[in-house]
Chains A and B, each alone.
Chain A
Amino acid sequence: MSASAVHSLWTTAATDPIDKIGAPDIEYGQLSPTLIVIGAAIIGILIEAFVPRKIRYYAQVFVSVVALAAAFAAVVALAAGGYGTTKAGIAAMGAIAVDGPALFLQGTILLAGILGVFTFAERRLDPAAHGNKVDSFAAQAASVPGSDSEKAAVKAGFATTEVFPLLLFAIGGMLIFPAANDLLTLFIALEVFSLPLYLLCAVARRKRLMSQEAAVKYFLLGAFASAFTLFGIALLYGYAGSVSYATIAQVVDGTVAEITPALAGTMGNDALLLIGTAMVVMGLLFKVGAVPFHMWTPDVYQGAPTPVTGFMAAATKVAAFGALLRLLYVVLPGLRWDWRPVMWAVAIVTMLGGAIVAITQTDIKRLLAYSSIAHAGFILAGVIATSPDGVSSVLFYLGAYSFVTIGAFAVVTLVRDAGGEATHLSKWAGLGRRSPLVAAVFAVFLLAFAGIPLTSGFAGKFAVFKAAAEGGAGAIVVVGVISSAIAAFFYIRVIVLMFFSEPRPEGPTVAVPSPLTMTAIGVGVVVTLVLGVAPQYFLDLAGQAGTFVR
């Protein structure tokens, strides 16, 4: 934990003679959650290669769920063993931090991942094609939409079971992302979780062209953002002579003055620091979908298969906010007088932008996308607090939000008509008359999004706003409540539509899902209400996890 215990793989390699490189020192136990998930992903690939097509689906679901549950158990064991608090430290030669925030976020991501697998594995919603049960994914992603080969694939009962290893790889990257303790690990984790997500976006069974378009947009913009991040990392390396968080932080504070000879011309140059920081933060803000880097969100959320959207909306946000928190709190606390005003502005435009644009949406998935943008703004309000309370409030918010999100998107998958999911809002009219239970559950999620008391959304919102107000950001709180009021309008509009509008005669039906989706929705509702009524235990958990190791 002390600064001297921190190594930097990369600087050591540059200064020491080559023959002295020893075997890296890896703490397998502390890294076990990530290793389990990535290992399972590799097993998943082997299953694709060697297991007969008929039982692949079962094998993949089994491996994924077991691996994620095992990884979650490992996280719990680590947290119980004190790795979140007293024994928190740096692992893998300085590349990974194992501390409270990392474990809390990893746990959240893994739970979101398990529910994600459940929604991915749902095969009862679409009518069976040629006697084969089908899920939300294309029979054969590589076949051209509408072509003969697609029809042949559907007829043969193919299924894109590759989605499960892809999901596991994405989760593996997400587990590393908030724990990354140097910039290169950060970047690699970013790519490891982004690339599978790009692919997952492209493999919808219905509306395939839209899905592929979404994937291409996501990929192009994401690659652009990644390039920014990488450029920023290079600049920061030029500034600090290291990619290690601890070292950069020391250089920013001025406690390290030794200059790497090769970088004598650039080290300590504040221009590099500021530009580099801005670029890296930009890449992270892209991932959380903050204005003005949010343009991809609505298209991708709408086009991607809904289970993927739900998982992505929840888990990506958790991982990216974790990484952002660590970057700002560990690397750049010395620079907070520079980044705070900028983040203030970003938070304000994100809250207002997301809430205002959402009003005009007519598609439920786009609406939820803009709502997620507004929520990113609320979470940023907690990030700005720069206090332990701020960290724990963000952690709590992320945990609460991800369950609401997965649940809400899972409900979206149920409402269907002949063309697949009926996502246009007008088709949801009168849903409350036809299926009161589904509509009521969705209303609970919407009320949680709107931050009505006795739901998790309110507890989370109160936590971040309280932290922001204590951090002196009263103006943010005022903007926050105003945009909450605006946001409430469109959540309520959906509720009005469901309960008070007359059902349309050719309206959609609500499919009865298998226990898998029911579990995802049920867990979402329970967590939403429990965190709303009795949040203390989870606030404690997040509060204990509020300290970063450095």
Chain B
Amino acid sequence: MSFLLTATAALPALGAIATAAVPAAKRNAAKWLALIVSLATLVLAAIVLVRFDPGGDRYQLTESHAWIKDFGVRYELGVDGIAVALIALTALLIPFIILAGWHDADPLETGNKRWRPTQGFFALILAVEAMVIISFEATDVFLFYIFFEAMLIPMYFLIGGFGDRAHEHGEEAASTQRSYAAVKFLLYNLAGGLIMLAAVIGFYVVAGHFSLQTIAENGVPEMATSTERWLFLGFFFAFAVKAPLWPLHTWLPNAMQESTAPVAVLITAVVDKVGTFAMLRFCLQLFPEASKWATPAILVLALISIIYGALLAVGQRDMKRLVAYASISHFGFIIMGIFAMTSQGQSGATLYMVNHGISTAALMLVAGFLISRRGSRLIADYGGVQKVAPVLAGTFLIGGLATLSLPGLAPFVSEFLVLVGTFARYPVIGIIATLGIVLAALYTLVLYQRTMTGPVKAEVEGMPDLRVRELVVVAPLVVLLIFLGVYPKPVTDIVNPAVKQTLSDVQKQDPKPEVEAAK
């Protein structure tokens, strides 16, 4: 029995406590502490990645301890390929998020000794990291649920307490809208979580335990068809809010718009992944029959998400809202890939989760740097930036091209896989979904054109290019985007066996190709 998985989650949790305890005057110490802790977590995640054997058991590096006997709850951790990939993504992104948000929480007023926003900001980010990692690791439904829910609290404070300082209507309005966004985020997710709680309890009544590892050995507990469907819906509802899937998506644009760019990345690139991950791990594994039963409806919702999100992204005036709606569109692709029930679709969806994390981080963080320079989120306030700050504009372009899945950049591979996988089983849905790519090209290129090209606006004049800290954030992400675009094999190798197993859980085989392969 190893404690590696526990350590990977516990380290940022302890780091969060330590960061929160740093005295008010030592603001910079808190930042460095958080950064070091997040880098150390990255090291641990890398060890997990190395120790994980893609050809080995389904759940590896497992830990199992009794926890709350009365509720049948065990402290059970274990990772499959999908979890490993997402843990690596999370651990990878957090240092960039911390670095990007280096000055976001510097206190405006220094007179109040008790108010220590900086320490709080970085401690909350680390707390979120810990909870996200442990939800990827948990193989006990209840354990997962606890952190799935508890994660909302630090997220809520990050959104509501540390908003974007660039606001068109001044600080008063910003404060109101910020707490509105935070409350909306929390209520949506809490409602989803509580519905799931009813389903979790129902699952316990049926199964008598919560352990995925037991299920992997003994098979899914017997349950009546209608029970299975209700429980599936309870779980899926929570994940669909988190993911977010149309029509439960409306919290995301508010939350991303009002929070600082690093926090927006944290929401969409890290926390929301728990939702799509949980669909794969819990919905499909615990309720295979109900998952197949619900597939058509979910595919339609995913398709609506893709088109609707992309259409709304085209019409946004606010950069961060635009990225939010683009993300909704992308989450549609991920969910479509999961429920297409083909190996390409699900591998693509998992890969998509990783790539979307990286590409959104790149785009959003650069957008954040841009916004912090000009103090406005409105697209119309910019123009000609590429002449003033060419490096900024260049990285912004790469982030944008990744978002529209340009071949050669990482998201292309995953989007292609998802579309192929969906087309194999549901050709019509696959065809309509390709519209999403066209729209993506529209909204990213228009965004780039309006902000970066054209005559240099007066306010943009003299805008500094990316600083060293900002380059350190962006450069690795860009490198990764290109690397995984050309050579996605490292990720797919890890992910594929897990996807095969998930598919065998739902007893689906890939449809036979209609055209025989050339001998």
List chain A positions with a Cβ less than 8 A from chain B. Answer: 433-437, 447, 450, 452-454, 458-459, 462-463, 465-466, 469-470, 474, 477-478, 480-482, 484-485, 488-489, 492-493, 496, 499-502, 535-536, 539-540, 543
Enumerate chain A residues within 8 angstroms of B68, measured Cβ to Cβ. Answer: 459, 535-536, 539
* Cα distance, A535 to B187, chains bound together (Å): 27
Check A500–B198 contact: CB distance below 8 A: no
Q: For A474, give its contact among B146, B161, B202, B204 (CB under 8 Å).
A: B202
* Nearest A residue (CB) for B152: A452
Contact of A501 among B150, B179, B205 (CB under 8 A): B179
B186 near A: Cβ within 8 Å? yes
The 9 closest A-B pairs by CB, nearest first: A453-B146, A500-B179, A539-B70, A481-B194, A485-B191, A481-B198, A453-B149, A500-B160, A485-B194
Q: Which residues of A contact B150 (CB under 8 A)?
A: 452-454
Write the B109-132 contact mask toward A (1 if CB under 8 angstroms, else 0): 000101110000000000000000
> Could you tell me the distance between the alpha carbons of A501 and B112 in the complex, rounded to whole angstroms?
16
**Sample of 12 more A-B contacts, CB < 8 Å, known A453-B150, A488-B186, A492-B187:** A452-B152, A466-B201, A469-B205, A481-B198, A485-B194, A496-B182, A500-B178, A500-B182, A501-B175, A502-B175, A536-B69, A539-B71
Specify which of A434, A469, A496 is in contact with B160 (CB 8 Å cutoff): A496
**Residue of A with least CB distance to B115:** A433
Report chain B residues within 8 Å CB of A488: 186-187, 190-191, 194
A382–chain B nearest beta-carbon distance, Å: 12
CB of B186 within 8 A of CB of A492, answer yes
CB distance from A377 to the nearest CB of B (A): 15
Distance (whole angstroms) from the CB of A196 to the closest CB of chain B: 36
Within 8 A of A (CB), among B47-80: 66-71
Interface of A is mostly: helix
| A355 CB, nearest partner CB in chain B, Å | 12
B388 close to A (CB within 8 Å) = no
Q: Tell me if A481 and B195 are in contact (CB < 8 A).
A: yes
Contact of B197 among A454, A481, A492, A500 (CB under 8 A): A481
- Residues on A with C-beta less than 8 A from B146 are 453-454, 458
CB distance from A136 to the nearest CB of B (A): 26
Is the Cβ of B149 less than 8 Å from the Cβ of A469?
Answer: no
Q: Are B197's CB and A462's CB within 8 A?
A: yes
Q: Give B138-152 as 1s and 0s: 1 = Cβ < 8 Å from A's Cβ atoms.
A: 000000011101101
Which residue numbers of B lie inside 8 Å of A, CB to CB?
A: 66-71, 112, 114-116, 145-147, 149-150, 152-153, 156-157, 160-161, 175, 178-179, 182-183, 186-187, 190-191, 194-195, 197-198, 201-202, 204-205
**Contacting residues, chain B, for A470 (C-beta < 8 A):** 205
Q: Quick one: given A466-B201, A477-B201, A478-B198, are A434 and B114 in contact (CB under 8 Å)?
A: yes
Q: Is the CB of B149 within 8 A of A536?
A: no
Query: Knowing A477-B198, A492-B187, A535-B68 touch, does A499 contact B160 (C-beta < 8 A)?
Result: yes
Chain A residues, CB < 8 A from B114: 434-437
Partner of A493, one of B67, B183, B195, B202: B183
Q: Whole-angstrom distance between the alpha carbons of A452 and B147 in the complex?
A: 10
Closest to B180 in A: A496
* B residues near A458, Cβ cutoff 8 Å: 146, 149
CB nearest neighbor in A for B145:
A453
- A535 and B68 CA atoms in complex are apart in Å by 7
Name the one of B69, B147, B198 contacting A465, with C-beta atoms under 8 angstroms: B198
A482 / chain B contacts, CB cutoff of 8 Å: 194
Q: 9 A–B contact pairs at CB < 8 A? A: A435-B114, A452-B153, A453-B149, A458-B146, A463-B70, A469-B201, A484-B197, A539-B69, A540-B70
Q: Which residue of A is nearest B148, CB measured?
A: A453
Residues of A within 8 A of B201 (CB): 462, 465-466, 469, 477
- Cβ of B160: which chain A residues have Cβ within 8 Å of it? 496, 499-500
* Closest CB in chain A relative to B27 CB, distance in Å: 15
What residues of chain B lie closer than 8 Å to A492, measured between beta carbons?
A: 156, 183, 186-187, 190
* A453 and B147 within 8 A (CB): yes
Nearest B residue (CB) for A479: B198
Residue of A nearest to B146 (CB): A453
Q: Chain B CB within 10 Å — which of A459, A466, A535, A540 has the most?
A: A466
Report A-chain residues with C-beta under 8 Å of the C-beta of B187: 485, 488-489, 492
Residues of B within 8 A of A465 (CB): 197-198, 201
- CB-defined contacts of B195 to chain A, threshold 8 Å: 481, 485
The residue on B at minimum CB distance from A461 is B197
A469-B202, A481-B194 as given contacts; A436 in contact with B115, CB under 8 Å: yes
- Docked Cα-Cα span, A480 to B195, in Å, equals 10
Is A500's CB under 8 angstroms from B161's CB?
yes
Determine if A536 and B67 form an interchain contact, defined as CB atoms under 8 angstroms apart.
yes
A463 touches B194 (CB 8 A): no
Q: Which residues of A contact B198 (CB under 8 A)?
A: 465, 477-478, 480-481
The answer for the CA separation of A481 and B112 in the assembled complex, in Å, is 40
CA distance A210 to B83 in the complex (A): 59
Q: Are A436 and B116 in contact (CB under 8 A)?
A: yes
Bound Cα distance A543, B71 (Å): 12
Q: Which residue of B lies closest to A392 (CB)?
A: B70
Chain A residue at smallest Cβ distance from B192: A485
A502: B residues at CB distance < 8 A: 175
Closest-CB distance, A307 to chain B (whole angstroms): 26
Bound form: Cα–Cα A467–B202 in Å? 11
CB distance from B310 to the nearest CB of A (A): 31
Asked if B182 and A543 make an inter-chain contact with CB atoms under 8 angstroms apart, the answer reads no
Smallest CB-CB separation from B179: which chain A residue?
A500
B153 touches A447 (CB 8 A): yes
The residues of B that contact A436 with a CB separation of less than 8 Å are 114-116
